[in-house]
Amino acid sequence: MSDVNTRIQAEIDSQPVVLFMKGTPVFPQCGFSARVVQILSHLGVPFKGVNVLEDMEIREGIKAYSNWPTIPQLYVKGEFVGGCDIAMEMFQSGELQQMLKEKGVETQAEA
């Protein structure tokens, strides 16, 4: 596996929930990335933000890795969940909460 795929795999395996995004969870630099950060924060899900703006190799490599042309990209327990649209749709339908529970990811819904 090429170096970038190895690095991507390491990021994906580093935490149960990983979000490849533009910017950081504290300073998202793209509306779509910010929206997924809001969803995860609202659900109280600990996650790792990977700022693709700081690493062009990962920014392009992740698109080939998942065969998904855009950022953000959400991964739960190593599985590619989707981008902003799908995360939003799954959150609104409750499927995201269901999937997190099934995969044993704790969520502390904000009080």
Partner 1 sequence: MPMQPAEIEALIKSALPDAQVTIEDLAGDGDHYAATVVSESFRGLSRVKQHQMVYAALQGRMGGVLHALALQTSAPD
Q: Interface mask (CB under 8 A) for partner 1, residues 8-37, using x and -? A: ------------------------x-----
CB of 45 or CB of 71, closer to partner 1 = 71
Which residues 6+ apart lie within 8 Å of 95 measured at CB?
89
Q: Cβ of 72: how many Cβ atoms within 10 Å? A: 26
Binding segment (CB under 8 A) for partner 1, from list 8-16, 45-53, 78-86, 102-110: 78-86
| Nearest-angstrom CA–CA distance, 89 and 25 | 20
Q: Cβ of 29: how many Cβ atoms within 10 Å? A: 12
Which of 53, 63, 77, 97 contacts partner 1 by CB under 8 A? 63
Q: How many residues does the chain have?
A: 111
Q: What is the contact surface with partner 1 in residues (CB under 8 A)? A: 32, 63, 67-70, 80-86, 89-90
